Amino acid sequence: MSNGYDLRNLAPYACSGATSKGRLYPEPDPVHRTQYQRDRDRIIHSSAFRRLEYKTQVFVNHEGDLFRTRLTHSLEVSQIARSIARKLNLHEDLAETIAIAHDLGHAPFGHAGQDALNRCMKGIGGFEHNLQSLRVVDELEEKYAEFPGLNLSFESREGILKHCSNKDAKKLGDLGQRFLTKNQPSLEAQACDKADEIAYNNHDIDDGVRYGLITTEQLLETQLFREQHEIVMQKYPNISHTCLIHEVIRRMISRMVVDLIDTSRSRIEKLDLHHPDDARNQDGYIVSFSEDMKKQTLELKQFLMTNLYRHYRVQRMTTKAEKVLNALFEAFINDLRILPPDALKHCNRLKEKMGENGIARGVSDYIAGMTDRYAIVEYERIFNPRQLSFANLIP
């Protein structure tokens, strides 16, 4: 792709239109936008992006209006990723694009949904949300007359595909190559990966405290929270609880972002990078925390795992979500006649393309695309005998 119009102040190791590996279906260059702005705009106008509003991050969407959803999570990731990208002279538009696309493939009900679908698809390709995000932008969005999916640039797709098994990587051509050769993604993709980690570790604390699942006292066990808590309490001894949590968390985010930028910048300076590929050809991530911050984030993650993600109230929700998805999958697979016409057409198309397994993949795509509330309503329509009136049966 040609550079056309692009950002100023880009470092030679930043991705750009000029060094881009292009799109699967060549297109004329955008006129007043960068290549990655075009990618971002396509994502914002996609159906999958709008559905993020009603998908779980940790808490099911209808539990409360203040909790993070996948949409607000993605926006927080984008905000952090852009700060990092700007400071490191990376392509801010690309960082934003990857951030808002990184969770597009998540099934309803967060990780519980992914695990349930993965079990349903065992032996026939499994289900993995990263790979599904790529399916969404490459195939499932039906919007354009000239190509399937959104036809995003290589760099956006590279960033979306954060993990991949060797088996899947072999089927993905150029995009899967780095998993086989143990190379890295672009620096913009690395920045998004770290921004994701910073965003969820911090907002899960906020949501967990708001939901009453974890307390400030418990959080003092972790160095990251304790240090910032001390600073805030010293400065504002009479602060309200709501402001306290926010003042502590905003400092934690800031501390992590500054550490990440400083550490990454000094690594970049030592490495003498002249092209985005120089960053890809390293043994590990260049964008990363200092050793000390790595230890502290690990401690925080372990705290959240023990006290929040494994909390019995979260677990109940997880178990219920798994039951809903298992039941839906089984009902559709056993009787394709109850699928809405578009979903059935999709299954038949995939059957033609990939044989019998195509049906299961089509059902998995249909379920993965559901929002939390759509999955619950669909479950009610199919299994609740009180919902026998015809109007209730139409999806």
Tell me the closest approach of the beta carbon of residue 117 to Mg ion, in angstroms: 17
Instruction: Pick the stretch among 78-86, 108-116, 193-201, 376-384 that binds Mg ion (CB under 5 A).
Output: 193-201
Q: Rounded to the nearest whole angstrom, what is the least distance from the CB of residue 103 to Mg ion in the complex?
A: 5
Q: For Mg ion, give the closer residue by CB, 73 or 229.
A: 73
Minimum distance between the CB of residue 360 and Mg ion, rounded to whole angstroms? 26
By the 8 A CB rule, do 358 and 351 touch? yes
Residue 102 CB, nearest distance to Mg ion (Å)? 6
Nearest approach in angstroms of CB 384 to Mg ion is 33
As a whole number of angstroms, the distance between CA 45 and CA 141 comes to 10
Contact region with Mg ion (CB under 5 A), list: 107-115, 194-202, 216-224, 227-235: 194-202
φ, ψ (nearest 5 deg) of residue 69: -115, 180
Nearer to Mg ion, 92 or 196 (CB): 196
Query: Residue 210 burial by CB count (10 A; 0-12/13-18/19+): exposed, middle or buried?
Result: middle
Q: How many CB atoms lie within 10 A of CB 52?
A: 22
Measured CA to CA, the distance from residue 392 to residue 386 in angstroms comes to 10
Identify which of residues 6 and 204 has a Cβ nearer to Mg ion in the complex: 204
Q: In the complex, what is the shortest distance from the CB of residue 156 to Mg ion, in angstroms, rounded to a whole number? A: 16
What would the two tokens of residue 219 be?
């959080």
Torsion of the alpha carbons at 57, 130, 113 and 364, rounded to the nearest 10: 140
Cβ closer to Mg ion: 162 or 229? 162
Q: Which stretch binds Mg ion (CB under 5 A): 31-39, 196-204, 320-328, 376-384?
A: 196-204
DSSP of 69-107: BHHHHHHHHHHHHHHHHHHTT--HHHHHHHHHHTTTTPP
Least distance between Mg ion and beta carbon 338 (Å): 32
Residues 66-105 interacting with Mg ion (rule: CB under 5 A) = 103
Q: For residues 160 and 133, is the Cβ–Cβ distance under 8 A?
A: yes
Cβ at position 260, least distance to Mg ion in Å: 16
Contacts to Mg ion from residues 116-145, by CB under 5 A: none
Provide the 10 A C-beta neighbour count for residue 319.
11
Residue ranges in 255-314 that form contacts with Mg ion under rule CB under 5 A? none
Of 96 and 196, nearer to Mg ion (C-beta) is 196
Which residue has the closest beta carbon to Mg ion? Answer: 196
Minimum CB–partner distance for residue 124 and Mg ion (Å): 26
- Residues with Cβ within 8 Å of 13's Cβ and at least 6 positions away in sequence, in order, are 90, 187, 268, 273, 274, 275, 276, 278, 279
Which lies closer to Mg ion via its Cβ, residue 52 or residue 268? 52
Identify the burial level of 284 via C-beta atoms within 10 angstroms of its C-beta, where 0-12 means exposed, 13-18 middle and 19 or more buried: exposed
Site size with Mg ion, rule: CB under 5 A: 2
Query: Quick one: 141 or 196, whose CB is closer to Mg ion?
Result: 196
Whichever of 56 and 318 has its CB closer to Mg ion, that residue is 56
Please, are residues 393 and 339 in contact by the beta-carbon 8 Å criterion?
Answer: no
Nearer to Mg ion, 103 or 138 (CB): 103
CB atoms within 10 A of CB 154: 17
Distances (CA, A) of 107 to 100, 113, 128, 279, 305: 16, 5, 9, 32, 21
196 makes contact with Mg ion (CB under 5 A): yes
Task: Note the residues at the interface with Mg ion (CB under 5 A).
Answer: 103, 196
